[in-house]
Amino acid sequence: MISKNKIKQKGQIYLMLSPNLILFFTLSVYPIIWVIRFMFYQYGGPGTGEPIFIGLDNFRRIFTKDPIFWKSVINTLVYAGGKILLVLPLAFFAAMMLTKKNLKGVGAFRAILFMPTILSSAVMALVFYLLFNAYNGEINKYLMTLNIIDQPINWLSAKNAMKVIVITSVWGGIGNYMIYFIAGLQGISNEVYESADIEGANFTQKLFCITIPMLGPVLKMIMMIAIVTAFQDMSSIMVMTEGGPINSTMVMFLYAYQFFFPISPGSLVSTQFGYGASVSFVSACIVGIITIAFLRFSRKLDEIY
């Protein structure tokens, strides 16, 4: 016997879930369904004829006739690798320095380093674009005034642009990951350190035998977040270099994006929605594979410790 009340309650439950579920379905799930459908088609958009079913041709093209896509994959790996290798140690260092509670003003210091995360990455990318400008940018001006260089460096050249976008994203990320590390460090009880002190452990021993192992779970989460966000980073790159010059900073999702929308106002869009969908799909799979590989790898690390 199902009471009337229970039915009424179930109804209320679904009613309360519905706003969020509707938004989730239309904005997160539906686009994925769209991509999975259109990646098997050739479609130039409304007004260019009907979508034509072409089976796996888009994928054949990706794997055999699209060197730019694979360049973008490598660029994404270089960018993500560079960003993570720089951001995480710096964030960990900052967290170690700013976790002691007896430091006056530690809240203010943390607030300073955390500040970039509350600012728009696109707006700050514009500022960094100005700072790294070859002739009028402050960076070159300082370097020349300090006589470190005598010619202005072209920071946004094909050779240097990747370094610049990595620096920009490291700037924006240190504070964020610092907070995660602080949360993790605070979870390690003081007693462990105290007993290590009693046994005469020095700083390096404490760091490598207590701190880093006990940060294990938090570190895993931090790496996951870092990997997934680094692979998705697009807006600052789009603003600073638009993927260039000569595709030297073109990352996967930016490459897929340009089959649908102009990278900068006025740039031409080669509307190939079917192909763009397949590129997005392959990119998402690459991120998925790397995520799973990382999880497997970190499980092995857990066993060692």
Partner 1 sequence: MEKAFVTILKVLSWLLLISLFVFTLYPVIYTLLGSLKTNAELTLGKSILPEDPQWVNYIKAFKDANFFQYGLNSLIVSSATMAIAVLTSSLSGYVLARYKFAGKKLMLSTYQAMMFVTIGPVALYPIMNMLSKIGMEKSMLSLILVLTGGQITNVFLVMGFVQRLPRELDEAATIDGCSIFRVYGQIILPLTKPILGVVALFTFRNTWNDYITSLILTMSNRKLTTLTVAVVQLKYSVWAAAEWHIMLAGASLAIIPVLSVYIFTNKQFMSGLMEGAVKG
Site for partner 1 in 146-205 (CB under 8 A): 171, 174-176, 179-180, 182-184, 186-187, 202-203
Alpha carbons 204 and 226: distance in angstroms, whole number: 26
How long is the chain? 305
**How many residues make contact with partner 1 (CB under 8 A)?**
96
Binds partner 1 by CB under 8 A, chosen from 78, 106, 143, 234? 234
Phi/psi at 52 (5° precision): -110, 130
Alpha carbons 53 and 57: distance in angstroms, whole number: 9
**H or E element, residue 53:** strand 52-53
- Closest approach, Cβ 27 to partner 1, in A, equals 5
As beta bridge partners, residue 42 has 52
Q: Which two tokens stand for residue 2?
A: 């199902």
Cβ proximity of 214 and 188 under 8 Å: yes
Q: Which of residues 54 and 279 has its CB atom nearest to partner 1 in the complex?
A: 279
Q: Which of residues 25 and 53 has its CB atom nearest to partner 1 in the complex?
A: 25
Binds partner 1 by CB under 8 A, chosen from 74, 288, 297, 299? 288
- Closest approach, Cβ 189 to partner 1, in A, equals 14
Phi/psi at 228 (5° precision): -65, -45
Binding mask 77-116 for partner 1 (x = CB under 8 A): -------------x--xx--x---------x-xxxxxxxx
Of 151-159, 208-216, 250-258, 297-305, the segment contacting partner 1 by CB under 8 A is 250-258
Cβ proximity of 252 and 73 under 8 Å: yes
* Amino acid of residue 300: K
Alpha carbons 254 and 232: distance in angstroms, whole number: 9
- Closest approach, Cβ 180 to partner 1, in A, equals 5
Q: Check residue 123 for interaction with partner 1 (CB under 8 A).
A: yes
Q: Which of residues 46 and 304 has its CB atom nearest to partner 1 in the complex?
A: 46
Q: Which of residues 26 and 195 has its CB atom nearest to partner 1 in the complex?
A: 26
- Closest approach, Cβ 117 to partner 1, in A, equals 8
- Closest approach, Cβ 17 to partner 1, in A, equals 5
Sign of CA dihedral 17, 22, 27, 30: positive
Alpha carbons 126 and 238: distance in angstroms, whole number: 10
In the numeric block, the tokens 């210091």 are attached to 109
Alpha carbons 219 and 57: distance in angstroms, whole number: 41
- Closest approach, Cβ 53 to partner 1, in A, equals 18
Of 51-59, 71-79, 229-237, 297-305, the segment contacting partner 1 by CB under 8 A is 229-237
Phi/psi at 229 (5° precision): -70, -40
- Closest approach, Cβ 274 to partner 1, in A, equals 12
- Closest approach, Cβ 16 to partner 1, in A, equals 4
Binds partner 1 by CB under 8 A, chosen from 261, 270, 301, 302? 261
Of 79-87, 147-155, 188-196, 234-242, the segment contacting partner 1 by CB under 8 A is 234-242
Q: Which two tokens stand for residue 50?
A: 């009907």
